[in-house]
Structure 1
């Protein structure tokens, strides 16, 4: 009996030692994972989904996909594996025929739903920009995704892009999107100044709207509500950073696009991008509201993410972000595209830590390139 007791104690010690070794090995392995920006992924408009299988999936514009979208997977947001093309439009029965942009994927009731933008084939007046937003569905995050319908989710009568969803606690679902600048000239003090300085005769703008959608994402409910637009007045605190593409003489457009909306406590946070998406001045700000359909108030801390070359960095054109979380839900991450001196004109993906402090202030610890 005494020998049996000694054996049990010895066995317990072995298990304890083995457990400690395993824990130490795991901690060392986690420490050895090195995250380097930018990632070796050439996506614009990156969107990361942490799926119920514990894997991160990244979707985006471009990345070698033909008339559609590709996906990368990762167990840790550091090591990314190309999974190939997961959706293709411009096939018989498709409503979208070109310019497939800004996919976002949501896991809902055991299915995976993709929101995306594309040029609508119904174009009787031959518009140069005829974008609409559609929905595709798959059984797995790696697809294949198939269109829910042979037409867009809705037609507001003007081109729209960058669909983003949020499910509210009351069971209602809301979509945010950007009306394109195309054929949307807007009068403002910024436009007057540009014309006076001989830069542009008119300034076109994109605005962010919100609208309720059915939970099954088959149709919208009600009419779009205007939520965010570029500043009208020169002395507006947002005017300088949101107008850089115009004031620098780069292009006669001002953007408010790429919405990403989330909720903390009783406050809705909408992150958005401003300036030319292919330019160095692309940057991210945010606005807050107590209601999913506004009114939203822009933060005085904007922009929260912008180029860092003036501070000795190498990153420009930071924008169109999404947000994801660590698997324990404690750490937020901002996922966005940008450019570096090394990558040139190719948009590449960055991931930086972000958060919302005890005063409700949203911040991004970036851009970093290290």
Structure 2
């Protein structure tokens, strides 16, 4: 009986600890400081969160790691930096909007915006060392300014059939956003198809693709990331190329007057413990002269008819 009691206590403690580790929501912001455009992965029991450094990006990216999504340790990255990612077409834009994914090859792949072009990196571990997939250090996707496409916000998607895709694109002057997609090779080191414009209704930037029960959910941001109009929308299709139909209850995350949820957007989605979480940024202080954003996380729910339900951010935070 004593042994059984001890085992019971141990099991209770183990369960409690596991539940505590999975308690991702309820502590917004989840990281102290000003960061944006989060990308989150989990590897060997550790969460890795990559983000833009505010205001308006830095010379490099921020990386944090945690085993419980509550206590975070900052980690230095060797790549990318502004100095390492330059081409003859680069502009002054800093290092923005990381997307990190583990490939079928067991390696980690990063897509990042620098100088309004997309660069791709590869590593054996989430912390690096990282290197450009192109030996000549050139961009993965070069500027498309001549086509009135802002070449930023690239997001990788690995389909259930093993095919890999890259989604990206925005617009200039806060209008005419474009969303493009192209297939990549299995090692995600080059594009193997011509980019296609698949822009859904009310799209501006920050595409993010998830697939659930055979349905492709293209999520994205609309409005200006500098004010209350920024919000997350979604559209669905039975094909990664679309056509996409916007959800009838889109947008699903937006400014909520009287709360700290102001200008939320540019998100990623984390699937953990059978649940989905939307990890995004919001504007920390709308009255500040600089654009300062902070990282938040809330649970993402799905309803009937392939709907994503409206996100209910934790109040009073």
Could you say which structure has the greater relative contact order, defined with CA pairs below 8 angstroms and 6 or more residues apart?
A: 2
CA distance in 1, matches of 2:260, 2:85: 44
- 2:52 touches 2:58 (CA, 8 Å); kept in 1? no
Shift, 1:220, TM fit: 1.4
- 1:103 touches 1:116 (CA, 8 Å); kept in 2? yes
Displaced runs of 4+ in structure 1, greater than 6 A? 31-34
In the alignment, structure 1 residue 167 sits paired with structure 2 residue 158: yes
CA distance in 2, matches of 1:32, 1:106: 25
1:215 match: 186
- 1:308 touches 1:367 (CA, 8 Å); kept in 2? no
Q: 1:70 aligns with which of 52, 55, 62?
A: 62
Residues 92 and 272 (structure 1), Cα distance of their counterparts in 2 relative to 1, 3 Å cut: closer
- 2:157 touches 2:209 (CA, 8 Å); kept in 1? yes
Shift, 1:163, TM fit: 0.8
Residues 103 and 19 (structure 1), Cα distance of their counterparts in 2 relative to 1, 3 Å cut: same
- Per the alignment, in what secondary structure is the counterpart of residue 153 of structure 2? strand
Shift, 1:302, TM fit: 1.1
CA deviation vs aligned residue, 1:143-177 (integer Å, no higher than 9, x gap)? 22111121111336323111112222333211110
Shift, 1:342, TM fit: 8.7
Tell me the TM-score normalized by structure 1.
Answer: 0.74
CA distance in 2, matches of 1:266, 1:31: 29
Q: Which has the higher strand share?
A: 1
CA distance in 2, matches of 1:99, 1:173: 27
Shift, 1:267, TM fit: 1.0
CA distance in 1, matches of 2:20, 2:167: 39
CA distance in 1, matches of 2:277, 2:16: 22
CA distance in 2, matches of 1:93, 1:292: 29
Residues 88 and 66 (structure 1), Cα distance of their counterparts in 2 relative to 1, 3 Å cut: farther
Q: 1:101 aligns with which of 96, 99, 120?
A: 96
- 1:94 touches 1:147 (CA, 8 Å); kept in 2? no
- 2:82 touches 2:94 (CA, 8 Å); kept in 1? no
Residues 156 and 42 (structure 1), Cα distance of their counterparts in 2 relative to 1, 3 Å cut: closer
Shift, 1:77, TM fit: 1.7
2:125 match: 140
CA deviation vs aligned residue, 1:185-209 (integer Å, no higher than 9, x gap)? xxxxxxxxxxxxxxxxxx8411111
Of the structure 1 ranges 110-119 and 354-363, higher mean CA displacement relative to structure 2 is found in 354-363
2:2 match: 14
1:339 match: 283
In the alignment, structure 1 residue 89 sits paired with structure 2 residue 76: no
CA deviation vs aligned residue, 1:348-369 (integer Å, no higher than 9, x gap)? 0110000222432112433324
2:252 match: 304
In the alignment, structure 1 residue 180 sits paired with structure 2 residue 126: no
Shift, 1:63, TM fit: 5.7
Residues 301 and 89 (structure 1), Cα distance of their counterparts in 2 relative to 1, 3 Å cut: same
Shift, 1:275, TM fit: 0.7
1:126 match: none
The within-5 A match list for 1:244-259 is 256-259=204-207
Shift, 1:32, TM fit: 6.2
Residues 28 and 347 (structure 1), Cα distance of their counterparts in 2 relative to 1, 3 Å cut: same
- 2:141 touches 2:151 (CA, 8 Å); kept in 1? no
In the alignment, structure 2 segments of 5+ residues that lack a partner are: none
In the alignment, structure 1 segments of 5+ residues that lack a partner are: 1-12, 120-130, 183-202, 231-241, 243-254
1:205 match: 176
Aligned residues, how many? 299
Tell me the TM-score normalized by structure 2.
Answer: 0.85
1:113 match: 109
Residues 165 and 152 (structure 1), Cα distance of their counterparts in 2 relative to 1, 3 Å cut: same
